Amino acid sequence: METKTNLKNLNFKELEDFVIKNNLPKFRAKQIAKWLYNKKVDSFDQMTDLSKAVREQLKEKAEITSLKLATYEISEEDGSIKFLWKLKDGHTIETVLIQERNHKTLCISTQVGCAVGCKFCFTTKDGLIRNLETPEIIDQYIEVQRFIGNTPENRISNVVYMGMGEPLANYDNVKKSVQIFTDDKMLGLSNRKITISSSGIIHQIEKMYNDPDFPQVKLAVSLNASNQKQREYLMPISQTNTIEDLMKTLDKIPFKQGFRIMLEYVLIKGVNDSEEDAHRLGKLISRNRKKYKVNLIPFNPFPGTEFQRPTEKDVLRFEKILWKYNITVIVRWSKGKDISAACGQLRKKEIENQKIMIT
């Protein structure tokens, strides 16, 4: 039996090639893309400006997949919504909708689990299970948009690849999803509204910036330390991707206005939040400070962690020291602290509930 083509696995050029290969006029690609990404339909029968014969032909050759909602939690504090999706193989992933003051941001996952092993991250506890496929990445956006209402006033304008997994370890699927997100004939988001967050895999960062087919989007790098020893302790990946080599790589990336690199720094009480840490970080960045912004993130505790959240006083002290180095710094206070906010918590809760039901 012939395998059907998942249409959400195709960028626009590939979608055009698909319709031509199936003896359909080229303009059908634009019609299909409009239904999938503008109208966000989940069946061929809803594509009413295609003839019944064309729809039947598409059903034979192609498929439209979607994610199944397992559960969700809405924060009473700030309106954030955490979604848990069930995949076709039974695994689950999380997505978080963040209600900002004047826009909506969606935090999406790229892997089931994660292999990077950061000590302060809940997602890594089960290791890496598998990469997400392109449709599973973009469907997080499509399904959440449908959930809140597919209307102009509810449009999700910002996407951050900061959920479960290391995006650049799933390079091809992330690249294809970014192509679909940014294509005006598909989801049509602004390149400046998309951010890929990486733990700092140097060769993959270089690959992304040297790839002419990877749309330029914003980059966020998890630094989380002010020296090599500290970073190795928190992020084992730094044993081979040293902080010195990482900063050299970031420094030489061509600077483009509006695409400053975000350096993410999770502040952990008694680990990396001292005045000395702040000064070391300031000196590390200050030589090329116009290229960077620092995102200070007070640690968000999860069950079983050895780490603690710093006091607000210590966070603000750290911020003020960076200001002295003329560094742009933002404190990102946690959203959704009342809804299993740390990445992987809702997924773990659901897994544990299933174990209780089975026993």
Active-site annotation holder among 73, 94, 133, 166: 94
CA dihedral 199, 203, 209, 213 (to 10 degrees): -110
Helix or strand or coil: residue 62? strand
How far, in Å, CA of 195 to CA of 211, rounded? 17
Contact (Cβ atoms closer than 8 angstroms) between residue 119 and residue 161: no
What are all long-range contacts of 145-149, with beta carbons under 8 Å and residues at least 24 apart? 145/40, 146/40, 147/69, 147/72, 147/81, 147/83, 148/81, 148/97, 148/104
Active-site annotation holder among 107, 114, 121, 343: 343
How far, in Å, CA of 19 to CA of 27, rounded? 9
Q: What is the distance of C-alpha 351 from the center of its chain?
A: 22
How far, in Å, CA of 164 to CA of 348, rounded? 12
Single out the residue of 32, 237, 206, 284 nearest to residue 117, CA to CA: 237
What are all long-range contacts of 5-8, with beta carbons under 8 Å and residues at least 24 apart? 5/61, 5/62, 5/63, 6/62, 6/63, 6/64, 6/65, 6/133, 6/135, 7/32, 7/36, 7/62, 7/63, 7/64, 8/36, 8/64, 8/65, 8/134, 8/135, 8/138, 8/139, 8/180
User: Any catalytic annotation for residue 343?
Assistant: yes
User: Any catalytic annotation for residue 133?
Assistant: no
How far, in Å, CA of 321 to CA of 326, rounded? 9
Q: What angle do CA 169, 173, 178 make, to 5 degrees?
A: 105
Helix or strand or coil: residue 286? helix
What are the catalytic residues?
Answer: 94, 343
